[in-house]
């Protein structure tokens, strides 16, 4: 395989764990260890005065200084600020994500020298706003983000690589349908893919950006806390430190329960201390509804792809939480086949991202592509219109979800008055007919229309979804040949000046790091 001449890097920026992979001299993806010697870096950030600590140490600090530690910040991406104050300050979630990326960068630079070009992964179910925020995180961390790629697609590419599909002769032309079930720490994603030779086509995608191992942890915390209070003690959940400690214990017990039939957690609070035993069965009963939600979503995705279970060749397990036996059992019953865990659950996504980076860099250097990826949009795209009868704000869907990307949706508008110089459009993503139940992506305004247009003059707005799920808006005046690319003004998110400010701040945290 011919490879680009600079380091080829892919990053899995996970809710609970992140990993960085590169393509080695033999063209194979490998995960780089961090400064602590681990393949996975906990996505936790400790704000300690002037210092920022990322990873294992930050995670440990939850038990002693919970009010300074950010964890699961990826769940808040798309919101203006992280859900709690950190060391007394507010931070946008994408800044916390940037700090995690920066740690991965610094640790990797020590091993392979400086690099800037990377591919970062996002859950397939991320909406446009969250995708943009993730790209911004990469920018603030000092990267040039070549592209973002969906996590299940990355996992499928890594699987294809491992199976030899990417070798010239390896790809069989017969289509193979696989369902990628990715249950991580904070997000759940399911994607149905069709692999044809070296082409990876997403057929349908679905998921939940607020469902993952963390929710299973919380159920264990509740189980343990209820037992503890049942013994006459005060509730440990009322104090952030006791709750933080208990959560660490429970996350550990959850892993034990994947291998054994029972586990125990020690709960301390207000001087009292108890060892509490929990069986796998109790754990599974307490979390059955969470598992059911993933089952329902998987069934829905398969239906959206127009397939039945027996059309699938494999069910591919990705994400640390698929190690829970209840997940495998449910998928076995549902699909009638043994789920495939042949890709490394924690590394496949980063590996696929690195393979995607090599594809882009090879293309930039004029080298032939090793494989192709086709994606679908995970949410319908619409513009807000007023219902003339009820006056309600409606979502006028332009591009339905699960449409093959890239795609361009068009909508014709008309000027209302003669001489009108501007038009304002609100863009939303979501399935609800009511615009207010959808995610606002932003507004775009068409200004500087020619001065003497008559009333009812036609204007066409083109919404172009790029293969990575990012949106561009273009306006044309069909009766002239004028076309303008317009900027989307975002409701949330950081403007260029603030991005640059944060980028400078993050650079200042690592002054010894030469770039
Ligand atoms: P993300 O990409 O969302 O950060 P990962 O795929 O790295 O998530 O998975 C992390 C999640 O997997 C955590 O919730 C962790 O507790 C869970 N996990 C890891 N190993 C096990 C195990 N052996 N049994 C159960 N859960 C596990
Ligand atoms: Mg993940």
CB count in 10 Å sphere of residue 85? 13
Q: What is the CATH number of the domain that holds 232?
A: 3.90.640.10
34 and 117 in a single domain? The answer is yes
413 and 360 in a single domain? The answer is no
17 and 87 in a single domain? The answer is yes
Q: Name which residue sits closest to atom 25 of ligand 1, judged by CA.
A: 255
**196-225 as b/e: b if 16+ CB within 10 A:** bbbbbbbbbbbbbbebbbbbbbebbbebbb
Residue 190 within a domain: no
- Which pLDDT score, from 0 to 100, does residue 515 have? 42
pLDDT at 492 over 80: no
State the greatest distance between any 2 C-alpha atoms of the chain, in Å, as a whole number: 80
99 and 34 in a single domain? The answer is yes
**DSSP string of 252-278, one letter each residue:** HHHHHHHHSSEEEEEEEETTEEEEEEE
Cis peptide before 406 (omega within 30 of 0): yes
Average pLDDT on 257-266 reads: 97
User: Over the stretch 164-192, which tens digit does the pLDDT of each residue have?
Assistant: 877 766 556 789 999 999 999 999 999 99
CA distances in angstroms from 150 to 10, 60, 85, 125, 205, listed in the order given: 12, 30, 30, 8, 10
Ligand 2 midpoint to CA 15 (Å): 7
User: Over the stretch 110-156, which tens digit does the pLDDT of each residue have?
Assistant: 999 999 999 999 999 899 999 999 999 999 999 999 999 999 999 99
User: Over the stretch 16-30, which tens digit does the pLDDT of each residue have?
Assistant: 999 999 999 999 999
User: Over the stretch 456-475, which tens digit does the pLDDT of each residue have?
Assistant: 888 888 899 999 999 998 88
359 and 411 in a single domain? The answer is no
- Which pLDDT score, from 0 to 100, does residue 296 have? 97
CB count in 10 Å sphere of residue 111? 13
Task: Answer with the one of 286, 314, 333 that is the final residue of a domain.
Answer: 286
HSE toward the beta carbon, residue 153, CA cutoff 13 A: 34
Q: Please report which residue ranges of 113-147 form alpha helices under DSSP H.
A: 128-140
Helices 151-162 and 348-364: angle between axes, nearest 10 degrees? 90
Residue 192 within a domain: no
The answer for residues whose C-beta is within 8 angstroms of residue 372's C-beta and 6 or more apart is 198, 199, 200
Please state the φ and ψ torsions of residue 312, each to the nearest 5 degrees.
-85, 140
Ligand 2 midpoint to CA 41 (Å): 12
What burial class does residue 64 get, using C-beta atoms within 10 Å of its C-beta: 0-12 exposed, 13-18 middle, 19+ buried?
A: exposed
Is the beta carbon of 200 within 6 A of some atom in ligand 1? Answer: no
Is the beta carbon of 188 within 6 A of some atom in ligand 1? Answer: no
Residue 142 within a domain: yes
Please state the φ and ψ torsions of residue 324, each to the nearest 5 degrees.
-70, 125
Residue located via tokens 């090879």: 362
Task: Answer with the one of 286, 309, 331 that is the final residue of a domain.
Answer: 286
Q: Please, what is the average pLDDT of the chain?
A: 92
As a whole number of angstroms, the distance between CA 97 and CA 422 comes to: 37
Closest of 132, 136, 152, 241 to residue 195, by C-alpha: 152
Using an 8 Å Cβ cutoff, are 130 and 327 in contact?
no
Average pLDDT on 423-437 reads: 93
Q: Which structural domain range is residue 273 located in?
A: 213-286
For 318, the 3-state DSSP assignment is: strand
Using an 8 Å Cβ cutoff, are 386 and 371 in contact?
no
44 and 139 in a single domain? The answer is yes
CA distances in angstroms from 220 to 217, 224, 235, 264, 450, listed in the order given: 5, 6, 14, 11, 63
Ligand 1 midpoint to CA 316 (Å): 16
Ligand number, closest to the Cα atom of 214? 1
Q: Name which residue sits closest to atom 2 of ligand 1, judged by CA.
A: 14
94 and 224 in a single domain? The answer is no
The answer for residues whose C-beta is within 8 angstroms of residue 86's C-beta and 6 or more apart is 45, 47, 67, 68, 69, 70
Ligand 1 midpoint to CA 184 (Å): 5
Residue 62 within a domain: yes
3-state secondary structure 4-58: CCCCCEEEEECCCEEEEEEECCCCCEEECCCCCCCCCEECEEEEECCEEEECHHH
21 and 147 in a single domain? The answer is yes
Q: What is the CATH number of the domain that holds 410?
A: 2.60.34.10
Over pLDDT 70: what percentage of the chain?
A: 97
Give the H or E element holding residue 152: helix 151-162
The count of structural domains within the chain is 3
User: Over the stretch 365-395, which tens digit does the pLDDT of each residue have?
Assistant: 898 888 999 999 999 999 998 888 888 999 9
33 and 165 in a single domain? The answer is yes
Using an 8 Å Cβ cutoff, are 402 and 413 in contact?
no
CB count in 10 Å sphere of residue 110? 12
Task: Answer with the one of 264, 286, 308 that is the final residue of a domain.
Answer: 286
Is the beta carbon of 184 within 6 A of some atom in ligand 1? Answer: yes
For 181, the 3-state DSSP assignment is: strand
363 and 415 in a single domain? The answer is no
As a whole number of angstroms, the distance between CA 31 and CA 22 comes to: 6
Q: What is the CATH number of the domain that holds 57?
A: 3.30.420.40
HSE toward the beta carbon, residue 18, CA cutoff 13 A: 32
Q: Name which residue sits closest to atom 7 of ligand 1, judged by CA.
A: 17
Residue 254 within a domain: yes
Is the beta carbon of 152 within 6 A of some atom in ligand 1? Answer: no
Rg (CA), the chain: 24
As a whole number of angstroms, the distance between CA 228 and CA 224 comes to: 6
Residue 115 within a domain: yes
349 and 364 in a single domain? The answer is yes
User: Over the stretch 326-380, which tens digit does the pLDDT of each residue have?
Assistant: 999 999 999 999 999 988 888 999 999 999 999 999 999 898 888 999 999 999 9
Structure tokens at 299: 């069934």
Task: Report the Cα 240 to chain-centroid distance in Å.
Answer: 27
pLDDT at 1 over 80: no
Ligand 2 midpoint to CA 349 (Å): 7
15 and 145 in a single domain? The answer is yes
Residue 88 within a domain: yes
Q: Which ligand 1 atom is nearest residue 254's CA?
A: 25
Ligand 2 midpoint to CA 409 (Å): 31
Using an 8 Å Cβ cutoff, are 186 and 16 in contact?
yes
Q: Name which residue sits closest to atom 24 of ligand 1, judged by CA.
A: 255
As a whole number of angstroms, the distance between CA 9 and CA 275 comes to: 45
Residue 320 within a domain: no
Q: Name which residue sits closest to atom 26 of ligand 1, judged by CA.
A: 321
């Amino acid at each position: 395989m011919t490879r680009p001449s600079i380091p080829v890097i892919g990053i899995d920026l996970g809710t609970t764990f992140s990993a960085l992979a590169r393509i080695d001299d033999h063209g194979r993806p490998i995960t780089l260890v961090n400064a602590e010697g681990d393949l996975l870096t906990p996505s936790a950030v400790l704000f300690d005065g002037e210092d920022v600590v990322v990873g294992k140490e930050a995670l440990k600090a939850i038990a002693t200084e919970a009010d300074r530690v950010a964890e699961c910040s990826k769940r808040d991406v798309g919101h203006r600020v992280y859900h709690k104050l950190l060391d007394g300050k507010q931070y946008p979630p994408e800044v916390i994500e940037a700090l995690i990326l920066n740690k991965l960068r610094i640790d990797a630079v020590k091993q392979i020298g400086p690099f800037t070009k990377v591919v970062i992964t996002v859950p397939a179910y991320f909406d446009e706003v969250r995708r943009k925020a993730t790209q911004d995180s990469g920018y603030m961390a000092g990267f040039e983000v070549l592209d973002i790629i969906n996590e299940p697609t990355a996992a499928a590419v890594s699987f294809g690589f491992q199976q030899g599909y990417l070798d010239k002769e390896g790809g069989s032309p017969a289509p193979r349908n696989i369902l990628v079930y990715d249950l991580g720490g904070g997000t759940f994603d399911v994607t149905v893919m069709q692999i044809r030779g070296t082409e990876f086509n997403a057929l349908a995608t679905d998921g939940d950006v607020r469902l993952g191992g963390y929710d299973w942890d919380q159920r264990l915390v509740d189980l343990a806390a209820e037992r503890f209070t049942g013994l006459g003690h005060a509730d440990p959940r009322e104090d952030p430190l006791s709750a933080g400690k208990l959560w660490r214990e429970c996350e550990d017990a959850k892993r034990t329960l994947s291998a054994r039939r029972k586990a125990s957690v020690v709960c301390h609070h207000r001087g009292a201390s108890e060892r509490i035993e929990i069986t796998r069965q109790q754990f599974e009963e307490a979390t059955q509804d969470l598992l059911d939600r993933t089952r329902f979503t998987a069934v829905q995705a398969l239906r959206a792809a127009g397939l039945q279970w027996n059309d699938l060749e494999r069910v591919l397990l990705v994400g640390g939480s698929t190690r829970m036996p209840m997940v495998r059992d449910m998928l076995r019953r549902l699909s009638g086949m043994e789920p495939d865990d042949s890709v490394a659950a924690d590394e496949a996504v980063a590996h696929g991202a690195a393979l995607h980076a090599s594809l882009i860099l090879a293309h930039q250097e004029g080298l032939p592509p090793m494989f192709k990826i086709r994606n679908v949009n995970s949410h319908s795209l619409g513009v807000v219109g007023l219902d003339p009868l009820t006056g309600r704000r409606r979502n006028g869907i332009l591009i339905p979800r699960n449409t093959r990307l890239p795609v361009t949706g068009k909508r014709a508008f008309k000027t209302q008055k003669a001489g009108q110089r501007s038009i304002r459009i609100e863009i939303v993503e979501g399935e609800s007919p009511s615009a207010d139940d959808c995610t606002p992506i932003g507004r775009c305004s068409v200004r500087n229309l020619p001065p003497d247009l008559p009333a009812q003059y036609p204007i066409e707005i083109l919404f172009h979804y790029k293969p990575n799920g990012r949106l561009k808006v273009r306006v044309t005046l069909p009766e002239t040949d004028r076309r303008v690319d317009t900027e989307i003004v975002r409701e949330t998110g950081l403007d260029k000046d603030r991005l640059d400010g944060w980028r400078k701040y993050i650079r200042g945290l690592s002054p010894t790091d030469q770039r």
